[in-house]
Amino acid sequence: MNKPNIVILGAGYGGIMTTVKLQKKLGVNDANITLVNKHDYHYQTTWLHENAAGTLHHDRTRLPIKDVVDFSKVNFVQDTVVSIKPEEKKVALENGELDYDYLVVALGFEAATFGIPGLLDNAFTIGNINSARLIREHIEYNFAKYNNETEKKQERLNIVVGGGGFTGIEFVGELANRIPELCKEYDIDRNQVRIINVEAAPTVLPGFDPQLVEYAMNSLEARGVEFKVGAMLKECTPNSILIEKDDKQEEILTNTTVWAAGVRANSLVEESGLEVNRGKVEVQPDLRAPSHPDVFVVGDCALIMNEETGRPYPPTAQIAIQEAELAAKNLAILVGGGTHLESFEFMDRGTVASLGHDDAIGVVFGDKKLFGWSASVMKKMIDNRYLLKLGGLGLLLKKGKFNIFH
Amino acid sequence: MNKPNIVILGAGYGGIMTTVKLQKKLGVNDANITLVNKHDYHYQTTWLHENAAGTLHHDRTRLPIKDVVDFSKVNFVQDTVVSIKPEEKKVALENGELDYDYLVVALGFEAATFGIPGLLDNAFTIGNINSARLIREHIEYNFAKYNNETEKKQERLNIVVGGGGFTGIEFVGELANRIPELCKEYDIDRNQVRIINVEAAPTVLPGFDPQLVEYAMNSLEARGVEFKVGAMLKECTPNSILIEKDDKQEEILTNTTVWAAGVRANSLVEESGLEVNRGKVEVQPDLRAPSHPDVFVVGDCALIMNEETGRPYPPTAQIAIQEAELAAKNLAILVGGGTHLESFEFMDRGTVASLGHDDAIGVVFGDKKLFGWSASVMKKMIDNRYLLKLGGLGLLLKKGKFNIFH
């Protein structure tokens, strides 16, 4: 009897956790497992804003795939997915093609710029290791140039972050810590530098507890962050943005616009012919595509409705990891000849947003509000828990965040 | 009786050493001493290539003027000199004007680009702290961008250094050490990166012992430096240079051209009306301007003929420091009412060129040739000796180079 080919696309939170769980559940005689990823490393997307701000080195955020995936059990193919062909049960790669019996689509997100003029070309996004370290270098480069020019250019020192959601707020929190260091490094007065957060909704962190939002804004403003809420980003050029608030337009000079206000599922999913809703596959309770029972979808490419609110669960690392665990379990059942798959149930472990290295806000244990140092400790514990789950104690000790007391 | 006003322009090697020596020789009742400098720090110009390569932080290269100059004895004016008016015995600053009885001109060098098209606008120079750290950031920024572009641009990874003199060679030596680190940081294959030194003369380090030059080129080539000797730089654009060798032209793609092939005296000297030869003041043996006995000139703005060779001494830190010591001595004689000033005699302490952190070539003690580790130790000793002379043991321990065994 032929062993089934299981192909997992992407080594982000969803893909790597599916692979790691699967390699524990299945023996080499049960299935051929192949993991495809563009890079030979996994990275924690939720830490990238720290790399972009320059408060954490990107080597802390990424880890070699071979450190957590057992290459004697899993084939690793470093390549870029070009298209998914569910009718032919094939995946086209830049340098080849793979057949599958079971597919796990875990291709993550890409930026959505909603057609705002100039944004695609002129704004940076915090999407991967390359783009995050480019933001870090771009800010530094502008600071380095500032004192070399006779006519001082304020656009070198203004940093605009589009979007007051999770990523945008966490990023300005890191910037607020980083900018004073950069000012020292490049002999620039801190008061010359502006960090501006632009959010279209009437408040940042929409959906978060209003008291915690108030705390977050106060904490960030005290460290020099300016908020423009209820303001639409209308245009982005290489050295400015145009925003509109209460029917009044304002131009802000900046060489650095970081767009953190919109993500969508990897567009390969929509192009694949799989049935989509808002660009994502609205999966069955067992996480398979309704039209293709041999295709599992996890992470940002999957859409699951929250029955309580009637709205989809937001795309987070937490839900991706939980989906991956179930996908691995259900795949093992299928490979073992079973037919009764388990259904996904989201277990909300709480949400904590970092505001810098020793400050955060969050809601945990259902309804317990946290802010300040205790919340930042909780945030680090959540990050550490993931590492423990992914690679055991060794990985936790190597990559964990233990700077709790300073 | 009025105390004479002594004004010292510039806090480079010549200016700061004149000031430090003078504050020891004169009491507060003897003279008003004023030091004028653009920044509130002194820096060691001969270390800037390390800051530019990123192998040494610029805070190691600079030191606050207040750490070595006694502000209870010396007035420090942080300002930029606009013009020298020797007929009126005045100096115009951006924010004021100073009268002097005695003037010390120690305004250093500026880049000379010999009218080569595009060089002034598109090449970087290693002239001061601002320009050196900009080069460091510029190289890093290009490396950071490389992997963010679908169409890879080789000009981001090619670094051209114009000039195979002292600065050019020392700079490529540091780059050869730094580039492998940058490749690791930005996930770039070292073999993709080119470091190209372009020199118009038939050999690099013209005037240096040919055996040592041979050693230097071998050492640098073994670390991936390419030499184009006998090649003229004809043009520089933002992303390329054009060179000509044996009547054949070659275009090299590069976003980073560092011009280290020409310096001239600060042009304020020529504009001042002081009599000049090749833009410098050919000083009397007592270091005063022939036409103006109240003006001393030291460092790169002074020209002194080497009687043995019939050519001017090259502008180096070594000669600037020796000139400064004599200028301070002669100023003290004048202030004390003396008339018999001492004459300058250059004491050649040898020349060592660094090729990276543990390699160098040099000639010391008249004719002793050194290369490799022993020469690099000698280089560090020369650097340390200067710090000891400038600021005593405290400064040496704070800023000295002690990494002799690694």
Q: What is the pLDDT of residues A305-352, one digit of tens each?
A: 999 999 999 999 999 999 999 999 999 999 999 999 999 999 998 899
Going by their DSSP bridges, the two strands A359-364 and A351-356 should be labelled as antiparallel
Asked if residue B123 and residue B103 are part of one domain, the reply reads: no
Q: Among A216, A234, A261, which residue terminates a domain?
A: A261
pLDDT in tens, A381-401: 889 999 999 999 899 989 998
With pLDDT > 70 as the criterion, what percentage of chain B qualifies?
99
Nearest chain A residue to B59 by CA distance is A185
Asked if residue B196 and residue B151 are part of one domain, the reply reads: yes
> Quick check: A144 and B134 CB within 8 A?
yes
Tokens of B257: 């051209």
pLDDT in tens, B302-336: 999 999 999 999 999 999 999 999 999 999 999 99
Per-residue pLDDT for A404 more than 80?
A: no
Per-residue pLDDT for A110 more than 60?
A: yes
**DSSP 8-state secondary structure symbol assigned to residue A204:** S
Q: Among B327, B347, B367, which residue terminates a domain?
A: B347
Q: How far is A79 from chain B (nearest CA, A)?
A: 15
pLDDT in tens, A161-186: 999 999 999 999 999 999 999 999 99
Asked if residue B98 and residue B10 are part of one domain, the reply reads: yes
Tokens of B396: 């040496």
What are the phi and psi torsion angles at B289 (to 5°)?
-70, 130
Q: Within a domain: residue A368?
A: no
Confidence of residue A88 (pLDDT cuts 50, 70, 90): very high
Tokens of A153: 């250019």
Asked if residue B269 and residue B256 are part of one domain, the reply reads: no
Output A198 or A262, whichever has higher pLDDT: A198
Name the amino acid, one letter, at A102.
Y
Asked if residue B139 and residue B257 are part of one domain, the reply reads: yes
Confidence of residue B405 (pLDDT cuts 50, 70, 90): low
Question: What is the predicted pLDDT for the residue at B152?
Answer: 96
B120 vs A contacts (CB less than 8 Å): none
With pLDDT > 90 as the criterion, what percentage of chain A qualifies?
90
Burial A287-304 (b: 16+ CB within 10 A, else e): bbbeebeebbbbbbbbbb
Confidence of residue B341 (pLDDT cuts 50, 70, 90): very high
Confidence of residue A87 (pLDDT cuts 50, 70, 90): very high
Q: Within a domain: residue B160?
A: yes
Q: Within a domain: residue A302?
A: yes
Asked if residue B196 and residue B271 are part of one domain, the reply reads: no
Average pLDDT on A201-216 reads: 93
Q: Which residue is catalytic, options A50, A155, A170, A325?
A: A170
Output A405 or A318, whichever has higher pLDDT: A318
Which residues are registered as beta bridge partners of B248?
Answer: B245
Asked if residue B166 and residue B152 are part of one domain, the reply reads: yes
Task: Give me the sign of the Cα torsion angle B386, B391, B393, B399.
Answer: negative
> Quick check: B145 and A136 CB within 8 A?
no
B185 vs A contacts (CB less than 8 Å): 133
> Quick check: A131 and B137 CB within 8 A?
no
Per-residue pLDDT for A68 more than 60?
A: yes
Contact A225, A195 (CB under 8 A): yes
Average pLDDT on B7-28 reads: 97
Asked if residue B124 and residue B106 are part of one domain, the reply reads: no
Average pLDDT on A279-295 reads: 97
Asked if residue A33 and residue A97 are part of one domain, the reply reads: yes
Asked if residue B148 and residue B248 are part of one domain, the reply reads: yes
Nearest chain A residue to B133 by CA distance is A144
Average pLDDT on B344-356 reads: 93
Q: Within a domain: residue B395?
A: no
Q: How far is B139 from chain A (nearest CA, A)?
A: 10
Q: Which residue is catalytic, options B155, B170, B174, B199?
A: B170
Asked if residue A208 and residue A129 are part of one domain, the reply reads: yes
Contact A168, A161 (CB under 8 A): yes
Instruction: Read off the CATH number of the domain in which A322 is found.
Output: 3.50.50.100
Q: How far apart are CA B93 and CA B81, in angstroms?
A: 4
DSSP B136-190: HHHHHHHHHHHTT-SS--GGGTEEEEE--SHHHHHHHHHHHHHHHHHHHHHT--G
Q: Average per-residue pLDDT in chain A?
A: 95
Output A90 or B377, whichever has higher pLDDT: A90
Q: How far apart are CA A91 and CA A122, in angstroms?
A: 32
Q: Within a domain: residue A389?
A: no
Which residues are registered as beta bridge partners of A288?
Answer: A296
Per-residue pLDDT for A142 more than 90?
A: yes
Q: How far is A56 from chain B (nearest CA, A)?
A: 13
Q: Within a domain: residue B372?
A: no
Tokens of B17: 């050493």
Size of interface A-B (CB pairs under 8 A): 41
pLDDT in tens, B259-276: 999 899 999 999 999 999
Torsion of CA B366, B372, B374, B376, to 10 degrees: 90
Instruction: Read off the CATH number of the domain in which B205 is found.
Output: 3.50.50.60
Question: What is the predicted pLDDT for the residue at B305?
Answer: 96
Asked if residue B274 and residue B176 are part of one domain, the reply reads: no
Least CB–CB distance from B144: residue in A134, A145, A185 = A134
Q: Within a domain: residue A404?
A: no
Question: What is the predicted pLDDT for the residue at B1?
Answer: 54
> Quick check: B144 and A137 CB within 8 A?
yes
Q: How far apart are CA A304 and CA A306, in angstroms?
A: 7
Question: What is the predicted pLDDT for the residue at A405?
Answer: 64
Contact A344, A323 (CB under 8 A): yes
Q: Within a domain: residue B301?
A: yes
Q: Among A349, A368, A400, which residue terminates a domain?
A: A349
Query: In terms of residue numbers, what domain contains B233?
Result: 119-261
Confidence of residue B207 (pLDDT cuts 50, 70, 90): confident
Known catalytic membership, residue A170: yes
Per-residue pLDDT for A62 more than 90?
A: yes
Domain count, chain B: 2
What are the phi and psi torsion angles at B404 (to 5°)?
-80, -30
Average pLDDT on A57-81 reads: 97
Q: How far apart are CA A402 and CA A394, in angstroms?
A: 14
Output B319 or B374, whichever has higher pLDDT: B319
